[in-house]
Amino acid sequence: MAQTMSVDDVLRHIRKASLFIEGITVSGGEATTQLPFIVALFTAIKADPLLQRLTCLVDSNGQLSETGWQKLLPVCDGVMLDLKAWKSECHHRLTGRDNTHIKHSIRFLAARGKLAELRLLVIPDQVDYAAHIDSLAAFIMSLGEVPVRLNAFHAQGVYGEAKAWPSATSEDVEQLAQRLRERGVDNLIFPALYL
C-alpha cells in the first residue's frame, strides 16, 4: 500500500536497519520523479554520522535530464540503468519511449564514475540486442569497467501484450552473454533466478 513519508520518516526506518545494511537503493516506478525528495534523503544520510557509511544508489529508467543528474550526483554513489533495447524503434515498441536520452544518461553517468550498473533485459523474440550486437558491445566497452547485469524477463506481474511473451531461459541469457564476451564484454552479472 502506498504511503506518504517525510525524509525524517525514512531516516527512522533506515536507522533501525543500519547495522544490517551496507546501503540503500531508491527505486520506483521511476524514483527520479521524486528528485527533490531523493536529494534531501541522500543529503541527510551523508550528513548523519551513523548513516554516512551507507551507499546511496538510484534505480532509474534514465529519463532524468542532465540538469537533474547534476543535482543528484553530489550525494549519490551510483545509478543503475536499464537499456531495454538497442535501437530506438524497438525500445519504443517495448516501453512507449525511444532510448536516445537513456543512452545519453548512460554515457553521462559513466563519464562521471556514477554508472553503478547497466542492465539489459533479455526478452526472447522481443529485444534487438542480437541484431545489433557489435554496436551494443562497442557502446558497453566505451563505458569503462561498468558491470552489466543480464536480467531474464518473466511475465509475472506484467500486463498487456507482454503477459503472453515467453520467459527468458538460462540458455537465452547465456547466448547473449557469449556474444558479448566474444566482443570483449566480460563484466557480466547473471540472474540469480529464472521463472
Q: Is 68 domain-assigned? A: no
Q: What is the mean pLDDT of the chain?
A: 95
Instruction: Give the mean model confidence (pLDDT) for residues 152-160.
Output: 86
Indicate whether 30 and 111 sit together in one domain.
no
Q: Is residue 2 part of a domain?
A: yes
User: Does 71 map to a domain?
Assistant: no
Beta strands 78-82; 23-26: pairing state: unpaired
Report whether pLDDT(135) > 80: yes
pTM of the model: 0.93
Phi first, then psi, for residue 141 (nearest 5°) are: -60, -30
Q: What is the 3-state composition of the chain as percent helix, strand, coil, each rounded to the nearest 5?
A: 45, 15, 40
> Which range has the worst mean pLDDT, 73-82, 137-146, 153-162?
153-162
Domain match, 39 and 10 both:
yes
Question: What single DSSP character describes residue 55?
Answer: E
Q: Is residue 154 part of a domain?
A: yes
Q: How confident is the model at residue 157 (pLDDT cuts 50, 70, 90)?
A: confident
- Residue 111's domain comprises 77-195
What is the DSSP-derived secondary structure letter of residue 184? T
183 and 115 belong to one structural domain = yes
Q: pLDDT, tens digit, for every residue of 15-44? A: 999 999 999 999 988 999 999 999 999 999
